[in-house]
C-alpha cells in the first residue's frame, strides 16, 4: 500500500531514481532515470534476466563500475536527455562526450 507504482529505488542505497510521478512536489534536479547500454549494465553485475525492473542511482552504478559514466555509456533512448528534472550529476554524465579513458588523455594533453 505504501509503495507508489512507479517507485524506482536504487537497489544499493535506496535512493528513488524516478521521483517523476510527483515532480512538482519534489522539484527539479532529483531524477536519475536513465538507460545505459546492456554491456555497461552487465559490467555492473546487473544481468538483464535477473534484474529486469531494478535500478541503480548514478553514484552506485559508478561505484560498481569503478569509473565515471560518460555520454557513450547511455543508449539513444529519449529518457537520456539533459533536462532540469535530472540530478546535476546525471546531466553532467549525459553531456560528457569524453572517452572512458578521457581523464588520462586530458592529463597527457597537459590539462
Residues 49-68 that bind Zn ion (CB under 5 A): 57, 60
Sign of CA dihedral 73, 70, 51, 64: positive
Q: Which stretch binds Zn ion (CB under 5 A): 6-14, 45-53, 71-79, 103-111?
A: 6-14
CB closer to Zn ion out of 53 and 109? 53
Residues with Cβ < 8 Å from 100, sequence gap 6 or more? 67, 70, 72, 73
Q: Per rule CB under 5 A, is residue 12 in the interface with Zn ion? A: yes
Please report how close the Cβ of residue 9 comes to Zn ion at its closest, in angstroms: 9
CB closer to Zn ion out of 12 and 89? 12
Please report how close the Cβ of residue 10 comes to Zn ion at its closest, in angstroms: 3
* Phi, psi torsion values for 64, nearest 5 degrees: -70, -35
The whole-angstrom separation of Cα 58 and Cα 64 is 10
- Three-state DSSP at 56 gives coil
Binding site for Zn ion (CB under 5 A): 10, 12-13, 15, 57, 60
Amino acid at each position: 500500500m505504501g509503495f507508489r507504482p512507479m517507485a524506482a529505488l536504487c537497489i544499493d542505497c535506496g535512493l528513488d531514481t524516478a521521483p517523476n510521478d510527483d515532480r512538482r512536489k519534489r522539484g527539479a534536479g532529483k531524477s536519475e532515470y536513465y538507460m545505459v547500454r546492456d554491456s555497461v549494465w552487465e559490467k555492473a553485475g546487473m544481468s538483464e534476466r535477473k534484474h529486469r525492473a531494478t535500478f541503480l542511482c548514478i553514484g552506485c552504478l559508478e561505484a560498481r563500475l569503478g569509473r565515471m559514466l560518460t555520454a557513450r555509456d547511455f543508449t539513444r533512448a529519449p529518457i537520456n536527455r539533459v533536462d532540469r528534472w535530472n540530478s546535476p550529476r546525471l546531466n553532467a554524465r549525459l553531456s560528457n562526450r569524453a572517452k572512458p579513458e578521457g581523464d588520462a588523455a586530458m592529463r597527457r594533453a597537459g590539462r
